[in-house]
Amino acid sequence: FSENADGKYISPFHDIPLFAGSKEDKEIPAKRPKTTGSEVLFNMIVEVPRWTNAKMEIATEEPLNPIKHDVKKGKLRYVANLFPHKGYIWNYGALPQTWEDPSHTDKVTGCCGDNDPIDVCEIGSKIRSSGEIVQVKVLGVLGLVDEGETDWKIIAISADDPEAQKIHGKYFYIDDLKKHKPGYLEATLDWFQLYKIPDGKPENHFAFDGEFKDKDFAVEIIKSTHEHWKALLHKKVDGGTIKCTNVLVSGSPFCCSDEDARSIVQSAPAFMNGDSVSPEVDSWYFFPK
């Protein structure tokens, strides 16, 4: 489960703002997005640290959406090692306050959303911790079609990464990325195309024949999924089994009290391991119970 700096339990899916706020702006959502130069930064929730195999995910169908090891048919899920890679080849996670609506047909892919927050591949040099909140600079996006569902993959880099300042083209960050991290995009495309084959599934397919689209295109996709999330949290669309319980979203009919949030956490089954996580973040922390 996630706690904020005030020690209150929150939903990482709904309560952490999409836009990274400046340090002096503590309102939720922040009125003044944090920027680096001319770039607006986004908050990314890390689910899977780089080089690891366990499929950790925000539990969208549980109250307060803890980060859990995904289970399918009674078994914990792992991704296979795809030669020459080990596990996930980026810090993998999601953007909070976004939702790929399964009832909405994407005009680009022609497929409905996958019912999850939009995914992020963070390519910085540091290995992050599960549950850590990282402020990222968006570089581009890959349009994955996963078993008939739209599953956009945002390519981003931590704003404090030494490489971040080298990727500064006015529009075409993807070109800069190819220059400073040669082979990374090709490996990313390969990974997403093949990673389900060891499970007996077919190759994945892509919009635009696997072409990475630029930063502006990616930001428009993010804004669109943010609007779908707003509709979800204000009961304008049917979220099905998605749990919208939150503590901080003003005007949402799903907003609960701090006491209710604490009761949800206290009544949840204890984790089997007692490992603690102490990520280095500005305002947000993740504490397994």
Other residues' Cβ atoms within 10 Å of the Cβ of residue 183 = 9
**CA end-to-end distance (rounded Å), the chain:** 7
Q: List b or e across 76-87, with b for residues whose CB sees 16 or more CB atoms inside 10 angstroms.
A: eeebeebeebeb
- Is the bond preceding 84 in cis, omega lying within 30 degrees of 0? yes
The pLDDT value recorded for residue 33 is 52
Instruction: Examine residue 131 and state whether it is found in any structural domain, yes or no.
Output: yes
Residue 217 lies in a domain: yes
Q: What is the pLDDT of residues 214-237, one digit of tens each?
A: 999 999 999 999 999 999 999 999
Q: Confirm whether 173 is domain-assigned.
A: yes
- pLDDT tens digit sequence for 94-105: 999 999 999 999
Distance between CA atoms of 82 and 105, rounded to whole angstroms?
31
Task: Count CB-CB contacts under 10 A for residue 273.
Answer: 7
Q: Residue 265 falls within a domain, yes or no? A: no
255 occurs within a structural domain: no
Domain CATH number, residue 212? 3.90.80.10
How many CB atoms are closer than 10 A to CB 2? 25
Q: At what angle do helices 184-194 and 173-180 cross, to 10 degrees?
A: 100
Give the count of domains, the chain.
1
Global pTM? 0.88
| 87 located within any domain | yes
Q: Is 17 inside a domain boundary?
A: no
Residues 6+ apart with CB under 8 A from 73: none
Q: What is the pLDDT of residues 175-220, one digit of tens each?
A: 888 888 899 999 999 999 999 999 999 999 999 999 999 999 999 9
Whole-angstrom distance, CA of residue 192 vs CA of residue 153? 10
Residues whose CB falls within 8 Å of the CB of residue 81, separated by 6 or more in sequence, listed in order: 53, 87
Structural domain contains residue 61: no
pLDDT by residue (tens digit) across 257-287? 999 999 999 998 875 434 433 333 333 444 4
- The residue range of the domain holding 163 is 38-55+69-226
